[in-house]
């Protein structure tokens, strides 16, 4: 089965054509600057990438058309015709409380996704535009929506409720939703396979540490808590997001500097996190370089980040009554051995014994704890596209 996976943003669109059974990626790429000056990247398997600038892409429709044309192109194409695309899987950021699983897209589903727009005003409308563009060009091809929030819908109320007046939940749907669900689901399934145990028996802490970061407590294959909240601003400090802070700080700073809420949120989303703290960069590679040269703020940003990750690992071990394995994934989790070591340091009481030699690895499924470590530590590269393709293939069958 060939599944086209689409991740549509407001002015960009990532795509991948893959076979979830063989895990073969036939082609992948990116449409950028949609509505501006259209940049198109296409990489067929085993061949040179094609990059084109100034491609007429006034809307997502032309972007999808460019993708489909490239896939069936006589020179660089990877399929004979569009009929060889069995289904399309769309990443959708917010499914609210309506979607606890991926779903086949119908008119009713589209309406329900649109109802979730106020919860993710920057993302969901763009995802919907991507779906509509595909529907316009691919009549009769099944489409599936895979939600970032769905995996976390199993959280108990004590984990997802905020201690706010109840009416804000009832009337306004204010609660913890959590994000990165597709990634947490994928890596926890891989963890069970690596450990050779049924996922139903396992208590896992999944650390998705990238530019955006979140941690999930996954008990028996079900998310029971996660660090992101009503929005992706909550939880860990991230590249440029502050993570959890005292809400009272907002009033203090807004009054002092005459900032309105939009300006304040811009600071919290775009100028905070390890970038704000280090005054260096949001990129952990830059932090390491600066810290190695003696930059104390860069070193503090690394320490703060690792400290918060460690606190969540401890909190989620408490929430689940134990932990069988801690998983590291995403850009930082897969590549930054120093951060992994800092997180694991001092967790020996929880049965975590990092193997320093095994930890000297990047981007490869590896057990990085010692053989006698009671709690395993796993490096598992995430693969959200594959997870989307697997869900899509199952529903389209």
Identify which range of 4-12, 31-39, 209-217, 244-252 contacts ligand ADP by CB under 6 A: 209-217
Q: Footprint of ligand ADP on residues 251-270 (CB under 6 A)?
A: none
Cα four-point dihedral sign 315, 243, 330, 222: positive
Is 183 among the residues that bind ligand ADP (CB under 6 A)? no
* Per-residue binding letters, 331-360, with ligand ADP (x by CB under 6 A): xx--xx------------------------
Identify which range of 35-43, 113-121, 309-317, 326-334 contacts ligand ADP by CB under 6 A: 326-334
Taking the complex as a whole, how short is the minimal distance between the CB of residue 325 and ligand ADP, in angstroms? 20
Give catalytic status of residue 148 as yes or no: yes
* Alpha carbons 104 and 127: distance in angstroms, whole number: 15
* Alpha carbons 93 and 179: distance in angstroms, whole number: 8
Taking the complex as a whole, how short is the minimal distance between the CB of residue 329 and ligand ADP, in angstroms? 8
Is 7 among the residues that bind ligand ADP (CB under 6 A)? no
DSSP 8-state secondary structure symbol assigned to residue 391:
H
Name the residue with tokens 């529903």: 395
String of DSSP letters for 124-182: HHHHHHHHHHHHHHSTT--EEEEETTGGGGG--HHHH--SS-THHHHTT--S---S-HH
* Cα distances (angstroms) measured from residue 371 to each of 4, 205, 355: 40, 19, 8
DSSP 8-state secondary structure symbol assigned to residue 377:
E
Identify which range of 49-57, 126-134, 208-216, 245-253 contacts ligand ADP by CB under 6 A: 208-216
Q: State which residue, 217 or 301, has the beta carbon closest to ligand ADP.
A: 301
Q: State which residue, 213 or 375, has the beta carbon closest to ligand ADP.
A: 213
Residue from 181, 210, 232, 276 touching ligand ADP (CB under 6 A): that is 210
Strand segments, DSSP code E, in the chain are 3-8, 13-19, 24-32, 39-44, 50-52, 87-92, 103-104, 143-147, 203-209, 213-219, 222-226, 325-329, 366-367, 376-379
Is 2 among the residues that bind ligand ADP (CB under 6 A)? no
Q: State which residue, 211 or 370, has the beta carbon closest to ligand ADP.
A: 211
Angle made by CA atoms 182, 328, 24, in degrees to the nearest 5: 55
Residue 74: partners with Cβ closer than 8 Å, 6 or more residues away = none
Q: State which residue, 239 or 276, has the beta carbon closest to ligand ADP.
A: 239
Identify which range of 1-9, 41-49, 105-113, 281-289 contacts ligand ADP by CB under 6 A: 281-289
Is 284 among the residues that bind ligand ADP (CB under 6 A)? yes
Q: Indicate left, alpha or beta for 282 from its phi (over 0: left) and psi (-120 to 50: alpha).
A: alpha
Taking the complex as a whole, how short is the minimal distance between the CB of residue 123 and ligand ADP, in angstroms? 13
Q: Footprint of ligand ADP on residues 232-251 (CB under 6 A)?
A: 239
Taking the complex as a whole, how short is the minimal distance between the CB of residue 391 and ligand ADP, in angstroms? 19
Q: What length does the chain have?
A: 397
* Alpha carbons 241 and 236: distance in angstroms, whole number: 8
Identify which range of 70-78, 118-126, 191-199, 328-336 contacts ligand ADP by CB under 6 A: 328-336
Q: State which residue, 336 or 385, has the beta carbon closest to ligand ADP.
A: 336
Is 330 among the residues that bind ligand ADP (CB under 6 A)? yes
String of DSSP letters for 298-323: HHHHHHHHHHHHHHHHHHHHHHHT--
One of 54, 69, 86, 148 is an active-site residue; which one? 148
Tabulate helix, strand, coil % of the chain (nearest 5): 40, 20, 40
Is 285 among the residues that bind ligand ADP (CB under 6 A)? yes
Q: State which residue, 68 or 120, has the beta carbon closest to ligand ADP.
A: 120
Which residues of the shown chain bind ligand ADP in the complex (CB under 6 A)? 210-212, 239, 282-285, 330-332, 335-336
Just list the catalytic residues: 148
């Amino acid at each position: 089965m060939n599944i086209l996976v689409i991740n549509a943003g407001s002015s960009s669109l990532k795509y991948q054509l893959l076979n979830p059974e063989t895990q073969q990626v036939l082609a992948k790429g990116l449409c950028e600057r949609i509505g501006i000056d259209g940049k198109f990247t296409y990489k067929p398997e085993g061949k040179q990438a094609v990059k084109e600038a100034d491609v007429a892409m006034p809307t997502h429709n032309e972007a999808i058309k460019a993708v489909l044309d490239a896939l069936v192109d006589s020179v660089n194409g990877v399929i004979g015709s569009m009929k060889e695309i069995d289904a399309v899987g769309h990443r959708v950021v917010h499914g609210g409380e309506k979607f606890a699983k991926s779903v086949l897209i119908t008119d009713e589903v589209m309406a329900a996704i649109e109802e979730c727009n106020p919860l993710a005003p920057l993302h969901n409308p763009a995802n919907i535009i991507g779906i509509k563009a595909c529907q316009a060009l691919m009549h009769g091809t099944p489409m599936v929506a895979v939600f970032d929030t769905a995996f976390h819908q199993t959280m108990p109320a004590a984990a997802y409720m905020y201690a706010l007046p109840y009416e804000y939940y009832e009337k306004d749907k204010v609660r913890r939703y959590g994000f990165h669900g597709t990634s947490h689901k994928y890596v926890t399934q891989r963890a069970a396979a690596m450990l050779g145990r049924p996922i139903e028996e396992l208590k896992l802490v999944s650390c998705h540490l990238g530019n955006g970061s979140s941690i999930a407590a996954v008990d028996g294959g079900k998310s029971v808590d996660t660090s992101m909240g009503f929005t992706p601003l909550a939880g860990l400090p991230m590249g440029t997001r502050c993570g959890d802070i005292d809400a009272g700080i907002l009033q203090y700073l807004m009054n002092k500097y005459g900032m309105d809420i939009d300006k304040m949120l811009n600071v919290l989303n775009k100028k905070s996190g390890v970038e704000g703290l280090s005054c260096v960069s949001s990129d952990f590679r830059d932090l390491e370089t600066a810290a190695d040269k003696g930059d104390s703020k860069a070193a503090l940003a690394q320490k703060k980040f690792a400290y918060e990750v460690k606190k969540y690992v401890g909190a989620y071990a408490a929430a689940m009554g134990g932990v069988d394995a801690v998983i590291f994934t995403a850009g930082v989790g897969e590549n930054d051995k120093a951060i992994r070591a800092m997180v694991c340091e001092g967790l020996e009481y929880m049965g975590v014994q990092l193997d320093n030699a095994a930890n000297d690895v990047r981007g490869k499924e590896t057990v990085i704890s010692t053989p006698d470590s009671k709690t395993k530590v796993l490096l598992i590269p995430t693969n959200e596209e594959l997870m989307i393709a697997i869900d899509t293939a199952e529903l389209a069958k």
